[in-house]
Amino acid sequence: MFLENTTKQPRGGGWIEVICGSMFSGKTEELIRRLNRAKIARQRVEIFKPAVDTRYDEENVVSHNETAIKSTPVQAASQIILLAFDVDVVGIDEAQFFDNELAAVCNILANDGIRVIVAGLDMDFKGQPFGPIPSIMSTAEYVTKVHAICIECGNLAQYSHRLIEDDNLVLLGETDRYVPLCRKCFLIKRNHK
């Protein structure tokens, strides 16, 4: 079980935390919770999100239940290094939409003594590893996999099933385009296409 550490670490004492799972599993809500706790502990926090994700807000990171926190939208992972100076904690939402350089960026920040908290989908709509998340997970000190509830059977869901026909890897959407499914229900839906 993950034991949240909110203490300020000495230089060289950084680490990486990953919050992953399917859509509608509470990843962003958990990211916001951890970042708010760091702020309460008077830590200097900076939050980033991919500029492409404007579903709820141009700048703020917003969860499905409308909890929000101020962030800085960026076009590429390399920009995070340039903007994350004089901070204790860096939060990164929707990490799957960043380029593969994000894994190196997270490690550079952690090696410099920064606590890095990353949230994102671990699998795409086909059930395959998504973007830089697998690489980040492999070097992270802590990985928390959160689950939604399968809308078909009520079991824990770890898949994001796309409801519309579109083969583009990135297709922003909500419940109009995606639903969470468990393994069994996901395989049934995928095999009926």
If one counts the domains in the chain, the total is: 1
| Alpha-carbon separation of residue 44 from 7, 41, 89, 193 (angstroms) | 12, 9, 6, 48
The pTM of this model reads 0.87
Q: What is the mean pLDDT of residues 68-95?
A: 92
Say which of 46, 94, 101, 141 is annotated catalytic. 94
Could you tell me if residue 7 is inside a domain? Answer: no
pLDDT value for 190: 87
Q: What share of the chain is helix, strand, coil (3-state, %, to 5)?
A: 25, 25, 50
Could you tell me if residue 164 is inside a domain? Answer: no
pLDDT value for 192: 75
Kind and range of the H or E run holding 142:
strand 142-146
Could you tell me if residue 92 is inside a domain? Answer: yes
Higher pLDDT, 163 or 159: 159
User: pLDDT tens digits, residue range 34-68?
Assistant: 999 999 999 999 999 998 875 666 676 666 666 77
**What's 21's domain CATH number?**
3.40.50.300
Could you tell me if residue 179 is inside a domain? Answer: no
Round to whole Å and give the CA distance between 23 and 97: 14
Q: Which amino acid is at 49?
A: K
Round to whole Å and give the CA distance between 47 and 53: 14
Q: Is 152 a catalytic residue?
A: no
| Alpha-carbon separation of residue 168 from 75, 101, 184 (angstroms) | 19, 21, 24
User: pLDDT tens digits, residue range 62-75?
Assistant: 666 667 778 899 99
In contact, 123 and 22? CB cutoff 8 Å: yes
Could you tell me if residue 166 is inside a domain? Answer: no
Structure tokens given for 180? 């969470």
Number of Cβ within 10 Å of residue 50's Cβ equals: 23
For every residue of 50-73, DSSP letters joined together read ETT--SS-SSSEE-TT--EE--EE
Q: State which residues form the domain around 61.
A: 15-146
Residue 32 has pLDDT above 70, yes or no: yes
Could you tell me if residue 100 is inside a domain? Answer: yes
